[in-house]
Each structure stands twice: as structure tokens, then as C-alpha cells.
Structure 1
Amino acid sequence: MTDSRQVTARPYPFAAPDRLNLDPRYAQLRRDEPLSRVQLPFGEEAWLATRYEDVRVVMGDARFSRALSVGRDEPRTIPRQQDLGMLRMDPPDHTRLRRLVAKAFTARRVELLRTRAQQITDELVDEMVKAGPPADLVEQFATPLPIQVICELLGVPFADRDKFHTWSEAIVSTTSLGVDQIQEYLNNLWGYIGELVAVRRREPVDDLLGAMVRARDENEDRLTEEELVQLAAGLLAAGHETTVTQIPNFVYVLLEHPAELARLRADPTLVPSAVEELIRFVPLGVASAFPRYATEDIELGGVLVRAGEPVLPAVGSANRDGEVFADPDRLDLGRVPNPHVGFGHGVHHCIGAQLARMELQVAIHTLVTRLPGLRLAVPEPELTWKSGLLVRGLAALPVTW
């Protein structure tokens, strides 16, 4: 059995991201070295889990802890460690915070928002059609849609979107922002939420932020002021940032797979399964993140992971595991079953998964049905991609129809 003392760590990420293409080295590792030793740009060495079953164990087994990262030199792609609040907690502390907001993101509550999300989406398409092509799908559609939805759910003024959308980059930046600027943006975001909290105390409103303030003030032992501010700021940032990125990513992938796009246009009832397949197919993260620390010696994938060692779950790799997904590198919008781990697994499963699913379904369905001639307005090589971020995404997506 292999252990960390017998393995030399390889640099990770393996290379700069190539658009939405998953690095082929993941497939090689799944086959030959499913748990490999890696060294990220910052922090201690870690194991990298690349097979689906191992990734699910790392994310779902209580013997792997996020809380043990506190006080450790956590493997990461940025120089400074960030206070990630709930993302660095284990139960029961994690459960205490998650319970406060989980009710706002149930499937039932999210479905009640679908009509409003559809209205916002239709208005955005109306504006694009009125202005005429070409249009930048990132700026004119993908960015305002999830921002307005999360603003209305939380109770944050949509008029402030440019400010907090800019500050939210601090959460996903690797090299796009300097260390001091990241902290400045985080402080701005926390200060902004703190001001909204003060307003809710003076003028109570029945929205998610108002409910969180009441939970803090009426149950002092359940939520500290710092937890309240950081939790609300995290929901605001995470509640729009990835969906803003994924809408253009999904459209790009569909345009790159014309046969599957034609299939979807011919049968829009495929949209829910299409969204699940796109979540599986698109490797959103540039590299694996949020390592879990072993609380005891554990055998995983033929490797002895010693107590106190961190393991990184490679979600993008797990979602291409041929042991679970037939023909895993093929886009199949009707794939069933599709047990992807694109939203994570276990106690840290994305709390906003149902909201993201709904927004993505509404966005893709509307674009497919209302703009059936949607296509790139520039040659594919001229598209610009974001850089220096934890996630892959297009800086702009010029389209016509």
C-alpha cells in the first residue's frame, strides 16, 4: 500500500486551463494513479482523488474534515488563506448555520421563484431583440439574470449590483487580483452587508436577510454577528457568481455540439436533463479546491492516507469517470441516470443547487425557444476567456440570431 512518504508530489494545477477542456492527465490518473500526490502553488502537499467513488468518499465521509483545515497551511492557489466561514466547518457548527438558510433553497421554495425568474429572463431577451444583434450574452443576459434573482431572494438592492459583483471577484480570484485588493474587496463586501443588516434591524422586511437578522437577534447563541455578515455575503456572492459563469459556458458548449443543440431545439422538454448533463460535462473549476483532512488513517484507492493529511476531490475528473458514466467524454443531453457531483456531495453539497438548476433551466429553455437561430457572432478563436480565477468562463460571448 502506498503512503505519502513513498511518493513525490507533482505540481498542480497541471497546466493553464484550455477553455472548457478537461486536462487529459485526469484520465491517466484515474487509470494508473487514482490517488496522486500534488503540490499546489501555496500550502502543504495533498493527495488528489480523481475517481468518482473516491471523490464521493472524501466529500461525504465524516472521517474527512473541513474544520481541520483551520490553523493548517491549507493547499490552495492563492497566497493568503481566506476565512471561508461555513465552508471550513464540520457538523454540528456547520449544521447550525446551514439550517438557518436551507429553508429558503428547498425545491418547493425555488419553484415559487421560477415564474419571477422567467419574467426577468423574458425581459432580458426582449431588450436584446429590441436592440438587435449582435449581443454580448455575458453582459446583457447571463450577468443580470442570477444577480437580480439572488437580490430579490436575499433582499439586496439590485441597483448596487455593479459594486457587489466587482467585490465578489475576491472570492474566486487566484491571480486576477492582488492580495491586498482581495482583502479590500472582501472588506467592502462585508461592510456592505453589515450596513444592510443595520437597515433590517431598523426597518424589518420579510426577506431572507431579514429572517437571518431575526434569527441572530432572537437566538443569540445560534448566530454571531460576524457569522451573520459572512454567511449573507457568501450567499450573495456564491448565489450569482457561478451561475453568471455557467450560462455562457453552457451556451458555448451547445454551440460547439450542433447535433445535440438541434436535438434540444427539437425537444425542449429535454432541458432539465440537458442542464444536468452540462453541469457534469463542463469542468467549472480550474483546479480542485476545499481539501478535506483525514481524521484517522484511511485506505483510499489503494493509498494509505494518514491522519492529518489533506485530500483534494477532483470533481471535474469524477464527472468523467467511465466506471460511472458511459462514454464519459461525449455530451449526451438525454443522459439517464446522471449522478454527477457537480454540486458537491455530503454536508457541503451546494446549498443553492436547486436555485442554480432552476435559473439554468429557465435561461437555456428561453434561449433555445425564443432565439432558435442563436449562433456565435465571431469566429470561435476570437472568443476571450477569463483568467486568474478559480473558475473557467468567457469574458464575453458575442452572439447573433
Structure 2
Amino acid sequence: MAFSVVDLPGYYRNMADLAGLELNALIRVIDSIPFFSNGPRHLLLRRVILQVLREDRIDAWQPIVDEEVDTAISRLGNSAVVDLVEDFADPLFARVMTRLFGLPRDQADNLNRWAETVRFVSELLLPIRRVRQMNDAADQLLEAIRSKDARTRRLRDTSIASMLERAAGTDLTAEEVDALIAGLFIAGQTTAHTLSNILLLVLRLDPEQRPLPTDPAPRRNAVEDLIRRGGAPQYLLRIAREDKTVGGHDLEVGDPVLVHIPSANRLTDGAGIPPATTGGCPFGQAPDVKPHFSFGAGIHHCPGAPLARMLIDTALHKLLNAFPEIELLDPEPEMFGTDIIKSPRSLSSRLTATAS
């Protein structure tokens, strides 16, 4: 409680005023991401999202996730070499999200590209050119989401988007619900990056150690441990609410602080390497099961975490079942790194065997 989230909408409002920029679309989207809000606004957004995406309500979406993962795997086919980032994790996320939110499936790649551009919004000291690009992408994203032609309306009526509209009632306008959907799409991209990190961790193992456990409890532990080790977010930006000394550093009210998530997750050098086992999946083995902050914590814990877990679990299980002998061609790939997110740029792999 000694720290608060950064007022990112206020930051971009000030930038727009001081630099004479038109950033309305970008500000609308940021203002609808709970991670960047505080007080009553944050509680309202969180309440609306949790009515739809909390853990005891997402099982209804498992068939859609299963279908999209199966389709993504079938697209890999028997190609000699594939990139599991470009050919699997990224397009899978985009297609799952467009399907769940009732958006036109032929727009999945565009929606993902616009969201990827806006995702840099939490990076520090971006050039004005990049900020303009983010606003343009946010405007295109909102335009695609708010489209009310008959086809889109039919898709949306049976989707998470429609459920969010009903949960919001009169507390949010239709435009604010559209911005909330855009914000969830943007924030949810962390799932694709985390899945890529997890694939890198798992494919470094011998094939017999890759499959997830079959029993529910060990499987949940394994998935949580993989998310703890492979979570894409690297930092949380916070502002000191009070004068305080932390780790020998004197902080004053208003000082910005970067919280290093891997350290909070107890990941010291080499901790991405799983403990040795006599066989089977080495992740999530007691006493190595630890709580983590990859989805945040407390009131700002990610409300979309159950859906992210579902997608990661399903994608990993089905991919390894379809191709148990995947060969990772570069165990040390180039990493896509920003101030906030870290994940491999590519995962070049050979699909050397298919399960019967």
C-alpha cells in the first residue's frame, strides 16, 4: 500500500496538451485497462471483467480454445521447420481473442498488429513519432471493435463482448465497453509472449520430460511453475505514496519505482532451469511450488489470469501431444526485449515426429 499505479492516462493527457497532439483514441484505450487505473474507476472495470472472466465462469469457453488450438496445430502440418512464435503462439492468441470477443475472424491479424503497436504504451520516454503511431493503431482497433454491421453484430451477440456489455449495464457507455475490449486485447497479448517463453523452457528438455502431468493437481502446479518461470512481464512501474526506505534506498513521495518481477518470483541466476527429476515433467515439483507475481497481486491481480492459464495449458498439452519429438533448432534465440516485456523473437523448430 506504500505504492500506487502510475496515472498513465493522465501522463498522455499532459503530453497531448503540452505537445499539441491528438491522442484521444490512445487515452480512451489506456483509461479502460484496469492495470493503469486506481480508485472507483479501477474497481468498476475490475467488477465488470470479473463477472465474465473469473475462474468459475470460463469453462464455457474451453471448447472454443480447444478448437482454435487444434486448428493452429493443423496449420503447422508436417512442415520441416516452423517458427513457434510466428506460426503458433502469436496467431493462436489473435484467433482465440477474436473468436471469444465476437470480432471478424478475417481481421485477427490486423487486430493483433494494432494491439501489438499500442502495447508499448507503458514503455518509458517514447519518441513522439511512436506515440502518434500508437494513437493511430488504437483508433483502428477501436473502429474495428465498434463496427456494428449485421455480421459483426451476430458474432458479438453470443460472445464475451456481449457479456461485458450486460455486466457494465449503465455504468459504462457503449464506447467505454468497446475501449474495454480493446484494452483486454492489448493486455492479453502478454499471454502470447508468456506462451513463447514457456515453449522455450519446455523444448530445452528431453522429450520424455516435456508432457504435462495427467493428474489435475500436479498439472495445475506444473502450469503455475511454468508461468512463474516464463512470465513475459519483467517490471511493474509504481509511484511511492509516502516517504520510505526500501532495501537501503530512500524514497520520497512521488518517486517512480520499477519492481523487478523475476526477483519477486524468486528467480535468481539459473532458476529458469527446472530441478532434476528421475523422469516426467520437472516443473511444479514440491517443494518448488511457489506463489508468483506474473499476473500481479492484490487488487491489481490480472482479472484475465484464468483465461490465460486455460490457453497456455491447452496449447502446451495439445502441441506436445501432436509433436512429442519437436526439435528446438536454436536453444538460445534472440530475445524481444523492452522495458516491460521479454520473450523470444522466434522459436525455429523441426517437427520431427507426430503422435499416432
Shorter-chain TM-score: which interval? 0.7 to 0.9
- Give the alignment partner of residue 392 of structure 1, picking from 310, 319, 342: 342
Secondary structure of the corresponding residue to residue 369 of structure 1: helix
CA distance in 1, matches of 2:255, 2:150: 42
**Pairwise CA distance, 1:341:** 0.8
Give yes or no for contact 2:94–2:109 (8 Å, CA) kept in 1: no
Tell me if 1:262 matches 2:208: yes
* Residue from 40, 43, 55 that aligns with 1:92: 40
How many percent of aligned residue pairs carry the same amino acid?
28
Matched, 1:314 2:260: yes
CA distance in 2, matches of 1:320, 1:187: 39
Does residue 331 of the first structure (1) align with residue 274 of the second (2)?
yes
1:64 has 2:3 as partner? yes
- Look up the match of 1:150: 97
Deviation, 1:207, is: 2.3
Cα contact 2:69–2:92 (8 A) shared by 1: yes
- Per the alignment, residue 160 of structure 1 pairs with 107
Counterparts of 1:214 and 1:329, CA distance in 2? 42
Q: Which amino acid aligns with 2:183?
A: G
- SS of the equivalent of 1:373 reads coil
Structure 2 unaligned spans of 5+: 14-18, 276-282
C-alpha displacement of 1:112: 2.5
Residue 233 in structure 1 maps to residue 172 in structure 2? no
Q: What is the alpha-carbon root mean square deviation over aligned residues?
A: 3.5
Higher normalized contact order (CA 8 Å, seq sep 6+, divided by chain length): 1
Q: Taking structure 1 as reference, are residues 310 and 97 closer, same or farther at Cα in structure 2, changes over 3 Å only?
A: same
* SS at structure 2 position matched to 1:307: coil
Change (3 A) 1:187 1:301: same
Map of 2:305 onto structure 1: 353
Q: Equivalent of 2:73, from 125, 143, 147?
A: 125
Residue aligned with 2:242, SS: coil
Q: Distance in 2 between matches of 1:319 and 1:327?
A: 13
Selected match of 2:157 from 199, 202, 205: 205
Give 1:327 shift.
8.4
TM-score, normalised with respect to structure 1? 0.69
Deviations, residues 73-122 of structure 1 (Å, cap 9, x unaligned): 99xxxx99963223332132211111112122121222232233223222
Q: Establish whether residue 344 from structure 1 lines up as the match of residue 296 from structure 2.
A: yes
Q: Equivalent residue of 1:386, what SS?
A: strand
State the shift of 1:354 in Å.
Answer: 0.6
- Give the letter aligned to residue 102 of structure 2: G
Match of 1:186 among 138, 141, 154: 138
Correspondence 1:111 to 2:34: no
5+ residue gaps, structure 1, are 1-60
Number of positions where the alignment pairs a residue of Structure 1 with one of Structure 2? 322
Q: Summarize the Cα distance change of 1:295–1:202 in structure 2 as closer, same or farther, 3 Å threshold.
A: same
User: How far, CA to CA, are the matches of 1:132 and 1:67 in structure 2?
Assistant: 45
Q: How far is the alpha carbon of 1:304 from its aligned partner?
A: 4.2
Q: Residues 367 and 199 of structure 1: is their aligned pair in 2 closer, same or farther, counting only changes over 3 Å?
A: closer
Of 81-90 and 158-167, more deviation after overlay is shown by: 81-90
